[in-house]
Every structure is written in structure tokens, then in C-alpha cells.
Amino acid sequence: MTGSVHAALVPHAAALASLHATGIQAAAGLLLAFPLAGAVILLLGGKRTNSWGHLVGVAMPVLAFAYGVAAFVQMLGYPAAQRSRELTLYQFIDVGRFQVPFGLRLDPLSICFVLLITGVGSLIHIFAVGYMSHDPDRRRFFGYMNLFVAAMLLLVLADNYLLLYTGWEGVGLASYLLIGFWQYKDSAAVAAKKAFVANRVGDAGLSLAIMLMFFQFGSVTFTGVFGAAPKASNGVVTAIGLLLLLGACGKSAQLPLQSWLLDAMEGPTPVSALIHAATMVTAGVYLIVRSGPIFNLTPDARLAVAIVGAATLLFGGIIGCAKDDIKKSLAGSTMSQIGYMTLAAGLGPAGYIFAIAQLLAHGFFKATLFLTAGSVKHEMNDEVDMRRFGGLRVAMPITFGAFFCAYLAIIGIPPFSAFFTKDPIIEAAFSRGGVSGALLGTAALIGAGITSLYMTRMLLMTFTGRRRWDEGQHPHEAPPVMIWPAILLAAGSLAAGAIFIIGSRLQDFLGPVIGVPPVSHGIFTVYGWAGLALVIAAAGLAFVLYGRREVPVAAPAANPFTVAARKDLYGDAINEGLLMRPGQWLTRLSVYFDNRGVDGLVNTVAAAFGGSSGRMRKVQTGFVRSYALSMLVGAVLLVGTFLLVRL
């Protein structure tokens, strides 16, 4: 990295020191305080809060969003180079030279995530009021949701890796509680444990990266690490980058730690929307982009990030094409879309801005898709099999309209958002050059076609065709408290396209933080036209397969490729064969060694001493004549030995 580029990426410590928090930004801690207070009230208040707890649960993220908007407006009033504000609340750790403040950093990158988390999260909370209206534990559910939002805000606002890790683990805890919220269902309990274990693997990578940072640089703050990283060896920086990637794979469900995300659909639909759109799965992308000054120093780690993203976007898309469960099909879609963001982040400084643009657009259209899918499930008596839907466009016209808006956005039909976020990623991948650039760009281009295929399939199977539901079902439009959040998010998913048409506003805003100068990018490029042609062709293929043919209610016989996709491309089987079975064998071997080896040796020694002592006790009879006889025998043996020696 050249000195000028490094200077753009790592602000000088003295300059940072002069940027003390002022005004609204000085109280950035309130962004955390609102949802955290909601979690404390609802989880510690007990049943006395049941009647009004959901109102508190909704109010807290709404207040945090309002405060975030105010901080964002104030931030726009500062010059671009002075928009980063740091706030130290207290000394988090003070042990020798290990000094870690409880500090928050409010800058253009973190404020984008704050607005996404609190804005989209607030609408999901409102939707949950209707969705969870009949659940007796609704108050506890909202407490967990508030805890989730608070942990994610801590993650993106932290000014050091250790505090980020605290929020990182908080997100893992909240996801475990929410995925397994209906723990009376074995499938939900198993899914929660699976998510927890899979994320622990990734978390181990992040924790080792933080330890290595402190060992090498003597600091875990962003400023200290980024300032010292250029002086470290390439091997150390690459190791840190790969460990950070492992952490990102766990939280963002990227290969090889992706299998938990599909099972996470066992949680209530608002949980799925919050995880997939605004919180957990975006954490890995944030970690990589925030750690850009590290990845910029190691081409090998960047290439690994790009490869993981490209493989996952194809992997998730193929799974999404074969799932009949509408929520699991959307889960495969999330894996694929996060793969696009990871691929973009792996392209280095030229790709960071596009990763964030895709992340922001994804927050709107994926939340819309999950909320509308939740409305369908709610009105279909918890049915999620798309083969038992059909014709819902007439029964639920508003839900269909919102879903259709998000559909246009995610497949990338201009002038909607994904067309302006995926196209630059595809172009940047091809621009990398060489074999790697061709392969990455081709994967991204094919992924656009796969996205159109599974989304069109989902649209047709759910909302068009013959009604395939049971006679006893009478679906109708969901209550307004569930409909309006979906409508607002659908409008946002369409309006996001207009934002990207405007030009380089987002690039100008984020540039001083992520080190990306404004980049001119044409709206319609050869890659955009190629992607659009592939999207239209894939949509046509889906129409032929699912729009003009009768959808069978029962699963038909499938070819090996479809079977593999329905089984998640054997991701669970691979993890079981490579990780679980060897672990079981190692455990059994360890138990056998402990029982037969360690315990056997100890027991043998104990038995030897016990047996010999038992025999010795028989000599001690207590009779004088026995002792006298023993002394006589001993004396005879001793005299005999001396005589033999003299002879």
C-alpha cells in the first residue's frame, strides 16, 4: 500500500484526537441505551409487563432510530473529513499495558448500519406485534428482540475489536434465544443449538485474531491496529485477515459455516427477518469492510474473501431453487446475497462501497420478502410449503404487491436497487483481471440469473396459478399492523434504486472512512446488459417450469442434482463427515484411553499396594512366639549368607 492510500485509510492519531464528540453525537451512547433499557425492562419486569411490554419493545428501537436520524443529519453538517466522532464512556479494561476503553465511534460507516438496524428493525418490531399477538410469551419475545438490536448496535459502534467482540457475542446469544424461542418444538431447540455451535467456530477465529493483534501491535483499538499493521510482516497480516474471515463466515453464514442459517427458519418469522435483513448476517460484511486497512495489506486474504463469497452466492442460490419451504428458499437467497457482499469486500478498496450499497439495498427488499412470507404463513395456518399455496394474489393483493416490489428489486430490474448494486460488483470482479477475475465475475453473473430463477419460482408458486390450499383454509389480508411495515419496506426497496441513480453520493459519504475515492460508474454497462439479459432468460425459464405447468402437491421424483439441492448440497453431511464424526471418534478414543490407560494405571498401582499391604498384615499376628521364630529364621539366614560369602 502506498503512503497516500494508507493515509486516506488510517487517520492520524492526532487528527482523531481533535475530533471530540459534540452535540447530538456526544450522546451516541443513547443509541445503545434505548433498546438495552427495553430488554432490561421486559426481561426483568416479569409477568407484570405482559399487557404493555410489546409497546415498550416497539418504542425503544423507534426512539433509537429517531436519535440515529438526528445524529445523521448533524453529521451531514460537518465537512467530510470531520464526520468521525469518538466517545469514550469509561475504561473498559485497565490491566498493565492492556488498555481498552469502552469507546464508541460514530462515523459514516457506522451511522449507515445504525439507520439500517434501527429503521428496518423498528418496522419488524411493529410487524411482530400482530404476528405474535396470540403468543403467551410475547413480552419475553420483544425483550429478546430489543437485546438483539442493542447487541448489534454495540457491534457496529465499537471503536475497538474487543468491544466489537462483546457485541458480536451478544448477537450470538440473542440469536440463540430467538431461534429457539419456541423451544417446546424439538426442531427449534436443535436449530438454536446448531446456530450457537456453528457460530462458536467462527467466533474462535475472531478471538484468535484479536489476540494476535494485541500480541503483535500492543493494541486492539481500530486506530492502534490500523496504524501498526503496515509495519507487520505479510504472514502476520495474512493470518489476521484469514482469522477475521473465519469469524465473518460464522456470523454471515458463508461457506463452510453456512448450514445453521437454513435451520434458523424454525424461529418466528420476525426473527428471520431481523437476522436476514438488518442484523446478524450483515455483521461479517461489516467486520471485513471495517477491517479494510488490514485486508488492503494482504492480497492473499482478500482473494480468500472473494472466493468464499463467490462460492457461497452460487451455493445459496442453487439451494434456494430447490426448496419448497418459502422461508428456507428465502434463507438460501440470503446466503447468496450476502455472498455478493462478501465477494465485493474481497475485491479490496474498489469493492467496499459496492458491498455496503448491496447490504443497504438488501436490508429493504429482504425484510419485505420475509414479512410478506410471514403474512402468508400467518394466514395459511402456519403452512410454509409453496406447493400448498397458489392463487394468493387474489386473496392477499396488498401482500402480493409488496412481495412483487421486493421481487423486482432483488432480481435487478431497472430502475430498482439490485440492478445498481450487483452490476458494479460484477464489473469490479471482471476488472480484477486474470483467471481469478474471470472466474469471480462469471460466478457473480451466473448468480444474477439464479436469483431470478428462484425468486420467479417463489412468486409463481405462491401467488399465481390454481389454489392448492385445503378447503378449511380461508386466507385473507393480514392485519394492518403487519401490512404497513411491509408496504413501507417495499417502498424503500424501490426507492433505493433512485438513490443509486443519483450518482456518487454514497461513495462521497463513505469514502473518507473506507478509503474509497469517488468512482464514476455508468448506469448501463455491458455487464449490466448481460446480467439483465440473463435475469430475463431465467425468469422466462421459471415461467415455463412453474407458470404454465401444474405444480404437484406431493414432491415428484427428482434427478440427483435436485435431490442434492434439497439436501442443502450435502452441507450437513460434509460437516458431519469432516467435523462431527472425527470428533466423536476422538472423544471415544479419549474416553477409552482414560478408562484403560490413565484409570487402568492408577487402579493397577492402587491394587498392587493394596494387595501387598494385605499380605503384610498377615505377618503381624500379635504373638511373641511368632516374632521370635521370625527373628530366629532371619538370624539363621544371615549367618548362612556370611558363611557362604567366606567360602
Indicate the length of the chain as a whole number: 647
Q: Which residue has the higher pLDDT, 553 or 510?
A: 510
Q: Is the pLDDT of residue 136 over 60?
A: yes
Assign 3-class secondary structure to 191-236: HHHHHHHHHHHHHHHHHHHHHHHHHHHCCCEHHHHHHHHHHCCHHH
pLDDT of residue 437: 92
As a dihedral over the C-alpha atoms of residue 230, residue 233, residue 236, residue 241, rounded to 10 degrees, the angle is 40
Residue pair 175/59 in contact (Cβ under 8 Å)? The answer is no
Spatial separation of the C-alpha atoms in residues 404 and 460, rounded to whole Å: 11
Q: What cell numbers appear for 107 in the block?
A: 462515523
Q: Which residue has the higher pLDDT, 139 or 600?
A: 139
Q: Which residue has the higher pLDDT, 547 or 439?
A: 439
Spatial separation of the C-alpha atoms in residues 360 and 245, rounded to whole Å: 21
Number of Cα atoms under 13 Å in the Cβ half of residue 336: 32
Spatial separation of the C-alpha atoms in residues 123 and 367, rounded to whole Å: 9
Spatial separation of the C-alpha atoms in residues 587 and 121, rounded to whole Å: 42
Q: What cell numbers appear for 263 in the block?
A: 435451520
Proportion of the chain above pLDDT 70, given as a percent: 91
- Average the pLDDT over each of 79-93, 143-157, 277-291, 596-610 and give the range with the smallest value: 596-610
pLDDT of residue 12: 36
What is the average pLDDT value for the chain, to the nearest integer?
A: 87
Average pLDDT over residues 391-405: 94
As a dihedral over the C-alpha atoms of residue 441, residue 442, residue 448, residue 452, rounded to 10 degrees, the angle is 180
pLDDT of residue 489: 94
Q: Is the pLDDT of residue 240 over 50?
A: yes
pTM for this predicted structure: 0.88
Q: Where are the alpha helices (DSSP H) in 253-348?
A: 259-263, 269-273, 283-290, 292-295, 299-322, 326-345
Residue pair 288/248 in contact (Cβ under 8 Å)? The answer is yes
Q: What cell numbers appear for 325 in the block?
A: 419451504
Angle at 7 between CA 2 and CA 10, to 5 degrees: 120
Query: Which band of pLDDT confidence, cut at 50, 70 and 90, is reported for residue 55?
Result: very high
pLDDT of residue 11: 40
Q: What cell numbers appear for 512 in the block?
A: 473518507
Interval 212-225: pLDDT, tens: 999 999 999 999 99
Interval 295-346: pLDDT, tens: 999 999 999 999 999 999 999 999 999 999 999 999 999 999 999 999 999 9
**DSSP conformation class of 597:** I
Q: Which residue has the higher pLDDT, 158 or 420?
A: 158
Interval 471-480: pLDDT, tens: 777 888 989 9
As a dihedral over the C-alpha atoms of residue 164, residue 235, residue 242, residue 578, rounded to 10 degrees, the angle is -130
Query: Which band of pLDDT confidence, cut at 50, 70 and 90, is reported for residue 352?
Result: very high
pLDDT of residue 403: 96
Q: What cell numbers appear for 564 in the block?
A: 442434492
H-run or E-run covering 393: helix 392-395
Q: How far apart are the first and last CA of the chain?
A: 93
Q: Would strands 98-106 and 85-95 be described as parallel, antiparallel, or unpaired?
A: antiparallel
Using CA atoms, how far residue 506 sits from 114, 277, 509, 515, in Å, is 15, 20, 5, 13
pLDDT of residue 497: 67
Q: What cell numbers appear for 269 in the block?
A: 418469522
H-run or E-run covering 92: strand 85-95
- Average the pLDDT over each of 262-276, 292-306, 609-623 and give the range with the smallest value: 609-623
Largest CA distance in the chain: 121
Check the CA dihedral 24-289-510-491 and report its sign: negative
Using CA atoms, how far residue 640 sits from 526, 632, 633, in Å, is 111, 12, 11
Average pLDDT over residues 385-392: 90
Q: 95 - beta bridge partners?
A: 98
- CA 385 from chain center: how many Å? 25
Interval 420-462: pLDDT, tens: 888 889 988 998 888 999 999 999 999 999 999 999 999 999 9
H-run or E-run covering 101: strand 98-106
Inter-helix orientation angle 108-131/505-514, to 10°: 110
